[in-house]
Structures are given as C-alpha cells and as structure tokens.
Structure 1
Amino acid sequence: MNLDGVSKHLLICNGKTCMKNGAEEVTETIRGELKNSGLHREIHTTKTLCNGQCKHGPIAVLYPQGTWYKEMNKTKSEELILQLKEERNNNLGSELYCHDGKTFKNHESEL
C-alpha cells in the first residue's frame, strides 16, 4: 500500500459491540463520502477490532489529530467528512478524547 499524499488516517472500530451498534454503516458511509468528495487519496481508513471503548461505540479515531469520536452513525459520519473536506474544526459534539499535543484528554470531563 502506498500512503504517499495521505495526510490523515481514520480508524473505524468494527469490534463486536460497535458492529452491533451500526459500525458497518459507519464504515460504508465514511468510505463512500471520502470517495464522493475526492478525499480518498488524502484520508486513509482502516477497520479495526476493539478499541476498548465499547460503551461509546461505534468509535472512529482521526489521526494525526488524535480525536476519538463516540456514538458514530450515518449522519455524524457524513458531517465528519464534510468538515474534513472544508478543513473545519471537526467538532461533531461527539468527541470522546482529544489530544493536546502531549496526552489524551477526556473531552467529556471538560464539558
């Protein structure tokens, strides 16, 4: 696999609990929206197994930003890709963890 030109990596949990909660639709939506928007050459996706946040699933993790998104669904997936295309802040109101440059911070505790 050639990652030349890739600037972001989206990890999409497809573990057992996330799958029960709609992870396949999230994966298909994200990949479809990336292709339709022309971002599939800039943003690579990987289906993962359990990311350890089952009660918040489906989970998507965006790197290099280090943002973990919880309770993803079709609508949130479409909005995330739109925000990435428009180079907006990527704030879905669904953030679980954010990276501050040093460590991960639980976004919920900051609310």
Structure 2
Amino acid sequence: MTTWNLSETKHHLLICNGSSCMRKGGEEVTQAIREEITNLNLDSAIHTTRTRCNGRCKDACVVIVYPEGVWYKAATSELGREIVQEHLARNKIVEDSVIYKYDFERFTAPENSSCVVGICKPQKNEVNLDLK
C-alpha cells in the first residue's frame, strides 16, 4: 500500500466516484484530472482522492478542491482539465461550475447557482415525534 509524502502538496482534490457520479463519467473525469496534473508537472503540488458519494448526486459528477473548499458540479473530462489548468495552476476559480464555496464560516452557494438546493439536515434540538 502506498504512503504518499504530502509535504509539497498545496491542493487536495476529492473526486466523487459514487454510483451517480460514475454513471455521469466519474472515471473519465478522474483520469482527465490526473492526466492534466501530470501534463502540467503538478504531481507534487496536487493530491487526488477518489471518494464514494459526497451527497450531491443531482450535481454529478462532483469535484471538491481543498484547502479552498470549492465544490464543482457536473464535471466532465473537459471541466476536470479546466479545473486543473485554471483553479489549480492559475488560482482562478471556474465560477460557472461552482456549487459551493467555503467562506471561513460556512459553505455558501453563488447567487447565480443553478444547483439543486437539496434537503436540510435535522437540527439537534429538533424532536422527531414519529420515533415512538
């Protein structure tokens, strides 16, 4: 099993490989991103991880960039390459495909977002009376 030295890593990409994302080209997106990272000689600066479901199936295929906390929707092979070229190599977020950005307090959706809002997680102080 591989143990990577991440001391030179500046970005971590989480690429959804859950079932909905895989049906929408997750494997191709993963390979395109990894190839573009290699083509731009950014292997030591960018680490990628395949994940299972990230809970945004309606926005499949989802790619998340950290440490910025930017979530991208509807990633294709072309968008995957663009994320590497623009966001990771030039520090320019690909605004048209952003679902959420982290603003150091919480994740927020851009005003012009066409992403699905989704369901809210229940609050801890909410009581579910149907449990009895």
Global fold match (TM > 0.5): yes
Deviations 1:7-32 (A, max 9, x none): 11000000001000000000000000
Q: Determine whether 1:79 maps to 2:69.
A: no
Inter-partner Cα distance in structure 1 for 2:78 and 2:95:
10
**Match of residue 102 from structure 1:** 105
Q: Give percent identity, aligned residues only.
A: 41
Whether 2:11 is the aligned partner of 1:3: answer no
Determine if contact 1:80/1:92 at 8 Å carries over to the other structure: no
Determine if the alignment matches structure 1 residue 50 to structure 2 residue 53: yes
Task: Give the Cα separation in 2 of the matches to 1:4 and 1:36.
Answer: 21
SS state of the match for residue 55, structure 2? coil
Alpha-carbon deviations, 1:41-73, whole Å to 9, x = none? Answer: 100000000000001000000000000000000
SS of corresponding position for 2:96: coil
User: Under a length normalisation based on structure 2, what TM-score does the superposition of the two structures give?
Assistant: 0.79
Deviation at 1:88, TM superposition (A): 3.3
Which has the larger strand fraction? 1
- Distance in 2 (CA, whole Å) between partners of 1:49 and 1:92 is 24
Q: CA offset at residue 36 of structure 1? A: 0.9
Q: Which runs of 5+ in 2 are unaligned?
A: 113-132
Matched, 1:35 2:31: no
Unaligned runs of 5+ in 1: none
- In 2, the alpha carbon distance for the partners of 1:92 and 1:18 equals 20
Per the TM alignment, residue 92 of structure 1 is displaced from its structure 2 partner at its CA by 4.3
- Of structures 1 and 2, the one scoring higher in RCO (CA 8 A, sep 6+) is 1
C-alpha offsets along residues 63-87 of structure 1, whole Å, 9 cap, x if unaligned? 00000000000111111111121x2
